[in-house]
Amino acid sequence: MGRPQAFNEDEVIDKALDVFWEKGFLGASTRDLIDATGISNGSFFNSFGDKKQLYLKCLQKYNKVYVSSLEHLLGSNLPFKEKIRKTLQAASRKTVGKDLYSGCFLYNTLIDKGVDDVNITETSREINARMDQAFINAVELAKKNKELLPAVKVTPFAQYLSNVAGGIRILVLHNPSEAHINNVIQQTLAFLPLREEE
């Protein structure tokens, strides 16, 4: 029998996710990951195989935690406008303790030229589709609740909102001013095709 793991794998993945999120796949060295997670070289390679396998586990964790949180928000009973406001604000949040935007791990993955793995690429596509579906579900619910104008077409409008959120995630990579981000969010909210309250 092999020796039992002397570490909590979930905690290791959380720490590795922080490293990958900050430095990207190409920028994060194996030494960076080992130092951040506190596990030995042997434990790293025995448990995760290589950097790509650990990255994939981090992406799966992102899907489980962050995308599930997005689904919960967009599927909640909040008014539609408030859901979109919170979603866009979450896309532009700053890292705690730093004057830098967190960005999005998925979008970082999609534009990271160092990522060249079929499983990572496929998982990224699945996560992106899941996020798109969360917006579709939110728009369908808003139409059902008569919050949106009758002429609104669900899928095109949901794709538009998803693309706005995605655009913000790309924009923050260039560290724009908070005023810039707020203007994008406020204009998006102002153009929502909401029905007037009767």
Residue 142: both structure tokens together: 């808003």
Task: Please tell me the CATH superfamily of domain 9-190, with its number.
Answer: Tetracycline Repressor, domain 2 (1.10.357.10)
pLDDT in tens, 152-161: 999 999 999 9
Main-chain phi, psi angles of 24, to 5 degrees: 80, 170
**Residue pair 25/112 in contact by the 8 Å Cβ criterion:** yes
Burial class of residue 152, CB neighbours in 10 A (0-12, 13-18, 19+):
middle
The reported pTM is 0.86
Going by C-alpha positions, the residue among 43, 1, 2, 44 that lies closest to residue 19 is: 44
Q: Which of 66, 87, 108 is nearest to 188 (CA)?
A: 87
Span 134-151, pLDDT tens digits:
999 999 999 999 999 999
Between CA 113 and CA 25 the distance in angstroms is 9
